[in-house]
Structure 1
């Protein structure tokens, strides 16, 4: 388990990497609705031929719990004063097979990419830096593990709007990812975008950090 704090945020946020022991915390955070209409963070994990409407709810919960127990579901939990307030899942892009079935999100080098397809922040802790802390921690963790290319799939804010509905923003928003250095690699006029960031430090940056 890894942990850190972000005292510079508006909250003191503790980030811990998911382990089977933390299932009760994830279950508590997701609540009776399973984070978002019974998803239980299974939407992007569905195999070909499966329909979300048939899996959501109790079945999705059981499947996610099994993946956590087997160490096959990776992610980060954010805590404030010991209470779970945020979640970010990550993993090799191929571990989220639905990404490749979305025509607008396909890529030619999926085997070399890690993905950040889903955030969930408790309603009482949104817009307080929780998602930013999770994203920064994920980037640092995956860089240390040798991941070179990271992708996110944020939604584009419609023209003339200042924000998107929470139900549509579970993948993040384009400005949110742009602030952390992600660049668009498949821009679309609306909907989910494919954005990337290289985690390979340039030589000059490595020297400055040494």
Structure 2
């Protein structure tokens, strides 16, 4: 990940609490996330979509809203990065919060106006679009 960040192929945000790193979100372009790439002819194109692929929150800081704060930052900065689309991939089975919610729970994205694009066996694809500078659900 360090090499991907240095090369510019990965992008993310760190959250700090009292000067200490407390959380992370990977907000790279979908084109750089091999697990989620759609491919040639995708609509929207892979290079035009931010892929929220994972969160990492240190145990003492879980349950204090850092994931939501990080997602709000991704949404706020997307237009400045030239992106009008943000996608997320929460697991469908949310029974083990500590291990399975590293992609964020579905409820997080619902609360931020994401809409279901596709429900796959293990996870769902959710998306929001920034229309005229105001984030709205895709559709």
TM-score > 0.5 by shorter chain:
yes
CA distance in 2, matches of 1:125, 1:97: 29
- Cα offset for 1:143? 2.2
- Cα offset for 1:115? 0.7
More strand, by proportion: 2
- Cα offset for 1:192? 1.1
2:131 counterpart SS class: coil
- Cα offset for 1:113? 1.9
> Per the alignment, do residues 82 and 96 of structure 1 end up closer, same or farther by CA in structure 2, a change over 3 Å counting?
same
Q: CA RMSD in A?
A: 2.1
More helix, by proportion: 1
Structure 1: state its 5+ residue gaps: 1-63, 101-105, 206-210
Matched residue, 2:57: 121
Mapped pair 1:182 → 2:136: no
- Cα offset for 1:167? 1.2
Report 1:19-168 matches (<5 A): 64-100=1-37, 106=38, 108-109=42-43, 110-157=46-93, 163-168=95-100
| TM-score normalised according to structure 1 size | 0.57
1:148, 1:199 within 8 Å by CA — same for their partners in 2? yes
1:199 counterpart SS class: strand
CA distance in 2, matches of 1:187, 1:66: 32
Structure with greater Cα Rg: 1
* From 200, 203, 210, the counterpart of 2:131: 200
User: Displaced runs of 4+ in structure 1, greater than 6 A?
Assistant: none
CA distance in 2, matches of 1:133, 1:122: 15
2:10, 2:29 within 8 Å by CA — same for their partners in 1? no
Matched residue, 2:137: none
